[in-house]
Amino acid sequence: MSNTARDTQGAPPSLSNQEFAHFQRFIFDAAGITLADSKKMLVTSRLGSRVQHHGYNSFAQYFRLLNSGENPAEVQRAIDLLTTNETYFFREPRHFEFLEKQVAAIPARQNPIRIWSAAGSTGEEAYSIVMLMEDRFPGRPYEILASDISTRVLERAKAGHYPMERARHVPKTYLQRFCLKGTGKLQDTLLVDRSLRAKVSFMQINLNDRLPAIGTFDFVFLRNVLIYFNQQTKREVVARALSVLQPGGWFFIGHSENLNGISEGVKTIAPAIYRKL
């Protein structure tokens, strides 16, 4: 069968257990993510269109393409598809309340407060932080880095254009001040104001690899990503993230996660909030 794309209508081929195992290994090697056996349908739905796009009759053919080293762009696309997760603005509100309290406690200084949204996905977390900083601490210097392994979601994050349903936890005053409401064909969407988008730096970072030179931070958000890693990978990823957190800095993870047996370099302060020793 040639690689020429054929008619992509209809359902993709079925994914055998052996083929699924190949993709489990692929995403573990690429991103350190452990796909549970229950994620077989997710792989079928997310990669099925790529199988069809290339005119393949099986997932095995698509896996061979990824494994050949001949198409790095397709490898990145597959990683993007398997690592993208839906999120929303001001997720886990108590974390933002805590962030506000701790920023207020930092004495005035010339060097900026630095915050890393380390698994930033499509950007809602980073923009939530910007809205908070602009509202509660106008004039204070700060820098926000948002990173993700997926280039595709980073492009969406830079655009700052979202379904309105993701803004259900955004205060109305923030929507009025910091967002533009879509009209016509863009009804039920919002666009983060250009001035806020300019305050976030976006970078592709694979948390399963050595970190690039990104400096040190006062706050690191690594939320709702550890659940996808096995225990050893969790230790390695957390150690990398903590290596760029200032002593006494604050570390946030998801409420369904914990650092028990993962790191001894932090102290628990509140649910899913830690302070670096």
The residue annotated as part of the active site, out of 46, 140, 152, 156, is 46
Q: Which of 50, 114, 148, 197 is catalytic?
A: 148
Query: Is 46 tagged catalytic?
Result: yes
For residues 72 and 225, give the distance between their C-alpha atoms in angstroms, rounded to a whole number: 24
Q: Which residues are catalytic?
A: 46, 148
